[in-house]
């Protein structure tokens, strides 16, 4: 079951303005979750927003890290109840969705949150909260390197091919994002991303 709010917000982090909802997109395997787990400990007051998904956990993942892992029946019940800001079926027909009550609470109460989302979900979210969303696209240095990263993370070639075949759709949307960065050297990219997030949330 998904709790009422997916984030335990602390009053001390509350800003005297609406919260920003920062969305990271980029092809699966480009390094979004690696970057987020590296930088968030240095970004106090910026909360990671876990999406809900029906895909199986990978080794190293756990509940709410990076997803709320739920069953298809639970996900479909949440769709019926209007609990998603947006949701998509991606790759192996797994559902992925963004929990609307948590996002609405964060924006209304001055908490800054960040999540990753595919390009279509990001476009849907922009329609709902155009003033409160800032978007960042992460590109791979090359398709060959993206493929290396996917093969390094997973052993199932079908999973990997599904993700590679979707990469073009994702990359074609990169120019519509507020910020575009390339994840080549992980340390440099993490620094760049941290600076962008600080510049957004400083206001
Ligand atoms: P995403 O969240 O975008 O799907 P991940 O964060 O799971 O991608 O990263 C996919 C794989 O690529 C992981 O095995 C990760 O360790 C690796 N990786 C991420 N960034 C880099 C980088 N800059 N250089 C080399 N490998 C990377
Ligand atoms: P993966 O299965 O590799 O973790 O993620 C697959 C894709 O789903 C990635 O492109 C990721 O950004 C996207 N994704 C994760 N959460 C959400 C979500 O809540 N909504 C949408 N639309 N896409 C998501």
d(CA 153, CA 68): 20
Position 3 scores a pLDDT of: 76
Domains of the chain and CATH, by start? 17-201 (3.40.50.300)
**Could you report the per-residue pLDDT of 82-123, keeping only the tens digit for each?**
999 999 998 778 999 999 999 999 999 999 999 999 999 999
**Could you report the per-residue pLDDT of 48-82, keeping only the tens digit for each?**
999 999 999 988 999 999 999 999 999 999 999 99
**Could you report the per-residue pLDDT of 120-169, keeping only the tens digit for each?**
999 999 999 999 999 999 999 999 999 999 999 888 888 899 999 999 99
d(CA 34, CA 194): 13
Contact status, residue 20 vs residue 112, Cβ threshold 8 Å: yes
Position 1 scores a pLDDT of: 65
Residues whose beta carbon lies within 6 Å of some atom of ligand 1:
26, 28-34, 149, 152-153, 183, 186, 189
d(CA 137, CA 182): 8
**Ligand 2 within 6 A of CB of 121:** yes
Instruction: Report which of residues 193 and 157 the model is more confident about.
Output: 193
**Ligand 2 within 6 A of CB of 192:** no
């Amino acid at each position: 079951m998904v709790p009422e709010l997916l984030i335990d917000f602390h009053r001390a982090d509350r800003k005297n303005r609406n919260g920003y909802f920062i969305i990271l997109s980029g092809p699966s395997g480009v390094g979004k979750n690696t970057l987020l787990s590296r930088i968030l400990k240095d970004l106090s007051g910026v909360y990671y927003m876990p999406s809900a998904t029906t895909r199986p956990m990978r080794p190293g993942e756990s509940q709410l890290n990076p997803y709320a892992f739920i069953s298809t029946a639970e996900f479909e019940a949440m769709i019926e109840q209007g609990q998603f800001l947006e949701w998509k079926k991606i790759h192996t027909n797994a559902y992925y969705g963004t929990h609307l009550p948590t996002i609405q609470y964060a924006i209304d109460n001055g908490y800054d949150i960040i999540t990753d989302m595919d390009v279509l979900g990001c476009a849907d979210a922009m329609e709902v909260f155009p003033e409160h969303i800032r978007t960042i696209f992460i590109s791979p240095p090359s398709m060959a390197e993206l493929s290396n990263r996917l093969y390094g993370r997973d052993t199932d070639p079908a999973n990997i091919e599904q993700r590679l075949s979707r990469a073009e759709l994702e990359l074609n949307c990169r120019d519509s994002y507020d910020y575009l960065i390339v994840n080549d050297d992980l340390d440099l990219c993490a620094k760049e991303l941290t600076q962008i997030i600080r510049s957004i949330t400083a206001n």
